[in-house]
A and B are shown apart, each in its own frame.
Chain A
Amino acid sequence: MTDEIGAPRGHIKDVGIETGAARLTPEIIRKTALRMLHEEAGARLRTYLDICVRCGLCSNACHYYNSMGGDPTYSPAGKVKETLSVIMAKNGRVDVEFMKKACEIAFTECNLCRRCAMYCPLGIDTATMMLFVRRLCHKLGMVPQYIQDTAHSHSATMNQMWVKEDEWIDSLQWQENEAREEVPDLRIPLEKEGADVFYSVIGPEPKFRAQLIYQAAVIFHKAGVNWTMPATPGWDNSDMCMYTGDMEMMSRLKKLHFETALRLRAKRIVMGECGHAFRSVYDMGNRALGWRYPPVPVIHAIDFFHEILTQGKIKVAQKYEKPVTIHDPCNIVRGRGLHEKLREAVGMLCETVIEMEPNREHNYCCAAGGGVINCGPPFKMKRVLGARVKGDQLMEVHKKGGVTCIAPCHNCHGGLEDILHHYKIPMDLKFLGDIIYQCMEK
C-alpha cells in the first residue's frame, strides 16, 4: 500500500483542452457552472451526491480502477470526488487547472458504461454525473480535439465523418455494384417508401468499413427483407454530440434520424452493429426530444440477425469452426439486454464458444466506449492501460484456445483491436455480420 494516490493527469496535451483552457478564467468557470447547476443539476444528480456513503463498493465495478492497480482516483466515486463533488461544494469556484483535470477525467477515464450503477447498492449512476461534467466542459468550450471535431462533423453534415451528401449515395451505389459481382440481382434500395426496415448505420461505415454495408445488403437480400436506406442526411445513427455533452446537437441529429424513418414510412429502424448509436437512438436522443420511447421501433442488428436466423430466413451452410468468444458491448447489454439473443445467434453460427468471465450484464467495457476512443491518439495509451482487465479476459480465452472475438459494436472493435495489439493477444475480431456473411447459404 502506498500513500501516493492519483495518477498523473494533465501531462497529455490535447489541443481542444488547451485552447479551451486558454480562453477560461475562474470567473467564466464560476458563472457557467453556477448557471448549469441552477438549470440542469436536478434531483437525481443532487441526491446521488448527497447520499453516496463513500463505501467504495463501486470501485471494483470499474475496469479503470481494476486495470490501474487500484488507484482510487479511478474508482467511480473517486472520479466524482475529483470532479463534480468539488464543483458542487464550491459552487463553481474552481480554477482552470482544476477544470482541465476534470475534463480529462470525465472524457477519458469514464466510458459511461454504467457498470458501476449495477454495483452500487444505492444505485448511484456515476455515468450521469460524468456526463454532467462533460456538458459543463462543452459549455466552457473545453472538449478534447478529436471528439470535438467529430461533433462538428455532426453539426455540419449530420454525420460523424464529414461524409458529404453525394459521397454517401456514391458509397452505397459503389457497394451495390461490388455486391452485384457476387449476387447479380442484389439491390440497396434507396428512398423506398413503406419498407419494413429502414437500415441505418454510423458515419464510419461508408467511410472506412463499407464492406459492412455490402455484407448487410447480401444478408438482407438473402433473407428477403423489404428494406431501404435514405439518399439524404439522416442516414447516420451515430452521435458523438451525446458524448461531448452537446445535447442540443444530439437532439438535432436524432430528430433528423427519426424524421427520415417517418418520411420513408418505414415500420422499423434496424441499426448496424454499433453500441453508442443504439444508446443515442434508443435511450438518450429520443428522451432529449420528448419521446419516452423512439417514435419508430429501433432494433439493433443483433436483435434483427437473431430474428432472421431463428425464423430460418438465413440458413447456415457451414458453422464457423474456430473457437470464438463473445464481447458484450455495454450499450446493447446493460443498455438493452441483448446478451442472450447474441449468444443464441452465435450458437447457431459457431461450433465452439468460450466465454469470458464475467460476461453478459457484468461484462467489462473495452474502454473505448462513451466517446473515449473518439478522444483520439493523445489518450490512446491511457485507454489501453485502462482496459488491462479486458486484456486479461481475452488472454484467458486465448489460452483456452479461443481464436476469434465477436464484438457487435464499432467502438468496441476499435478498442479491442488496440487491446489485442498492446497485450499481444493473437486473436482476430469479427462483427456478427462478418460471421453470418461467411457462414450463410448464399
Chain B
Amino acid sequence: MQDTDNRDWELGEKTPARPGEWAGQFEWVEEPEVSPDGERLAAVVNTGEDGFTLCVNGVVWENLYERVWYPRFAPDGRLTALAQRDGQSVLCVDGEEEGEWHDFLWDTLFSGDGGTIACAAQNGGAYSVVKDGTRWEEEFFNLSGLAVSPEGSKCVAVVQVEQMPAGDITKFQEGCYKIAINGKTPGARLLSAWDTAFSKDGAHAATEVRVSPYDYTIAVDGVPWEKTFPGVWRPRFNPKTGLITAPVKIGSGWTLAAGGEPLWDRLFTQLWRHKYSGDGSRAAAVIALRYGRWSVAVDGVPWENTYGDFVDELALSSDGSLVACIASDQGRRTIVVNDRPWTGAYDMVWPPVISPDGRRVAAVVESGGKTAIAVDGAVLASGFLKAFPPVFGPGSDRVLVRAIHDSGGKALYVRKVLQLDGPR
C-alpha cells in the first residue's frame, strides 16, 4: 500500500480508538478494520436488544440492523458494510444507506482509488451487480467471480445465462455460462469461468474459462483464445504493453503463455499467481521447481532457494528490481526478498509491502500469539495483539504502523509514524 493522499506523516503516536473500552458498552465487538490513513478503527458491534451497527473510533452509526457484516474501508477511506433487516440487504457507506434494499448483497469490491463500489446482488432468485447504488438492468440465473476494473468503469462477473434442469449433464456441457461486462454478455458460451484480470486502463478483461470438459483457456472480454490447454490459471495484463499472459499446462508441466503461445522457455511442475512490475519490465510467478519444492521464477528464471510448504503473495517493486513473497518451510513462514529469506521465521506472515523507492520490504509477522511489524527482516515495532499492514511514507523513510496492543488489560489502538534508519 502506498501513500498518495494527504496523510499525516508527522513522526509520533496517536491513539484514535480504545476498542478495549467498547467491550463494556456492547454485547460484543467483532474483528476491527482500520482506515487506510490509520485515523479510524471500526468494528461491527452488537448493541444488545436493538441490533447491530458499526462503531467507528467509539462512535456508533445511527442505524441499527438485525445484522451488519463485511465492514470494509474503501481505498479512499469511505467505510462500507452490508446490513440486513427483515430478510433484506442494503449497502451502508459511512453510515448512510446507499441505493435500494435487495434480497441479498455480498462481495463488496472497490476500484483502485475507491471511487467505485460494487456488490453482487440477488433479488427473487435473479442475480445482478450493484455498482455505486445502481443495479445492472440485466439479471441472471447465477453470478460469481465479481471483479471491478482499476479505474472503476467496469464490473465483470461470471453469469449463468440458461437454466439447467437438475441433472442435465448434456446442457451443462453445451455451455450455460458467459462473462458479463457491465451486464452485457457479448462473448461465447462457456462451461465455467473463474478469475478475471483487467488491463491497467480497464478497457479489457481477461478471464480463465473452461470451454469443453477437457479444454481450458483465457477469454478476453468474454471471447476465448482459440488455443486451449488442459489447464490454465488466472491471467494478467502486462501494465506497459497490455499483453495478456496466463499460466498454462503443456504436457505434464506449466509455463507462462501469451496469446496461447509459450512465453517462457521452460516447464515447471507448477506455475501460478504471476505478477508484473509496475513498469511491465518484469514478470514473476510462484513455481514448483520440482515435486514438493516451491520457489519463484522471475522472467522464467527460477530462484535457487526452494520451500516445502508453499510460496505465496508475490510483490514486485515498480521497476521490477525487487521481488518479495511469503515462503513457508516445515510450518515456519518468512518473507523472501530477491531469493534471500529473512533470518526470522514466524507462525504467521502477512503479505510483503514494498516501499515506493523499491528498496525496502515490510510485513506483519506473528510469533507466539504476538504480532509485530518487521522491516527488512528486523522487528520495527512489536508486542501487538493485532497489527494491520504497514504503509510506507512517500519518501520511503517512514512507516505508518497501525496496531492494537494491550494497555493494562484493555485493547488500545495506536497509530504511529516511525522513522526508518538511513537507506540500506
Contact = CB atoms under 8 A, between A and B. Distances in A.
Contacts, number: 115
B269 interface: yes
A377 to B, nearest CB: 11
Contacts of B69: 173, 190
A295 B328 contact: yes
A192 interface: yes
A248 interface: yes
Best-surrounded residue of B122, B144, B386 (most CB of chain A within 10 A)? B144
A233 interface: yes
Interface string B282-320: 000000100110100000000000001110100000000
A363 interface: no
Interface in B351-405: 366, 386
Interface in A246-281: 246, 248, 251-252, 255, 258, 262, 265, 267
Contacts of A255: 233, 272
A166 B348 contact: no
Interface residues of A, number: 50
B160 interface: yes
Contacts of B210: 155
A252 B288 CA distance: 16
Interface in A281-313: 289-293, 295-297
Given A165-B120, A190-B69, A248-B231, A156 B192 contact: yes
Given A148-B169, A149-B167, A155 B192 contact: yes
Given A139-B214, A146-B167, A231-B106, A265 B348 contact: yes
A19 B347 contact: no
A284 to B, nearest CB: 14
B216 interface: yes
Interface in B110-150: 120, 122, 127, 142-144
Interface string A407-430: 000000000000000000000000
B107 A290 contact: no
Contacts of A331: none
B213 A141 contact: yes
Nearest to B191: A155
A158 B172 CA distance: 15
B27 A232 contact: no
Contacts of B31: 189, 192-193
A182 B60 CA distance: 28
A248 B229 CA distance: 11
Interface in A3-17: 15-16
A152 B160 CA distance: 13
A31 interface: no
B177 interface: yes
A164 B231 contact: no
Nearest to B371: A194
B65 interface: no
A170 interface: yes
Given A165-B106, A189-B31, A194-B348, A295 B309 contact: yes
A308 B16 CA distance: 38
Contacts of A138: 213
Given A170-B104, A248-B216, A190 B70 contact: yes
Contact of A232 (B107, B166, B231, B272): B107
Contacts of A39: 252
B172 A289 contact: no
Contact of A290 (B166, B269, B347): B269
Contacts of A292: 291-292, 308
Interface in B179-236: 191-192, 194, 210, 213-214, 216, 230-231, 233
Contacts of A265: 348, 350
A290 B291 contact: yes
Contacts of A141: 213
A158 B309 CA distance: 24
A169 interface: yes
A166 B122 contact: yes
B22 to A, nearest CB: 15
A170 B106 CA distance: 10
Nearest to A246: B213
Nearest to B366: A194
B109 to A, nearest CB: 12
A157 interface: yes
B170 interface: yes
Nearest to B102: A166
A156 B386 CA distance: 37
Nearest to B193: A156
A19 to B, nearest CB: 6
B270 interface: yes
Contacts of A155: 191-192, 210
A185 interface: yes
A108 interface: no
A165 B144 contact: yes
B67 interface: yes
A207 B86 CA distance: 22
A248 B348 contact: no
B190 to A, nearest CB: 10
A200 interface: no
A231 B331 CA distance: 26
A295 B144 contact: no
Nearest to A154: B192
Interface string B164-176: 0011111011001
Contacts of B309: 293, 295-296
Contacts of A166: 104, 106, 120, 122
Contact of B292 (A187, A251, A290): A290
Interface in A155-180: 155-158, 164-166, 169-170, 173
A404 interface: no
A185 B106 CA distance: 24
A156 B169 contact: no
Interface string B310-344: 10100000000000000010010000000000000
A265 B244 CA distance: 30
Contacts of B168: 149
B264 interface: no
A191 interface: yes
A111 interface: no
B28 interface: yes
Given A194-B366, A267-B348, A15 B70 contact: no
A251 B231 CA distance: 9
A128 B172 CA distance: 29
Nearest to A149: B167
A264 B190 CA distance: 30
A149 B169 contact: yes
Contacts of A295: 309-310, 328
Contacts of A16: 169
A194 B367 CA distance: 12
B169 A15 contact: yes
B386 A194 contact: yes
A179 to B, nearest CB: 14
Interface of A: 15-16, 19, 39, 138-139, 141, 145-146, 148-149, 152, 155-158, 164-166, 169-170, 173, 185, 187, 189-194, 231-233, 246, 248, 251-252, 255, 258, 262, 265, 267, 289-293, 295-297
17 contacts: A141-B213, A155-B192, A156-B160, A158-B144, A166-B104, A170-B104, A173-B69, A189-B30, A231-B70, A232-B107, A248-B249, A255-B272, A262-B312, A290-B269, A290-B288, A292-B291, A295-B309
Given A265-B350, A290-B269, 9 more contacts: A16-B169, A149-B167, A191-B70, A194-B386, A233-B144, A246-B213, A289-B270, A290-B270, A296-B310
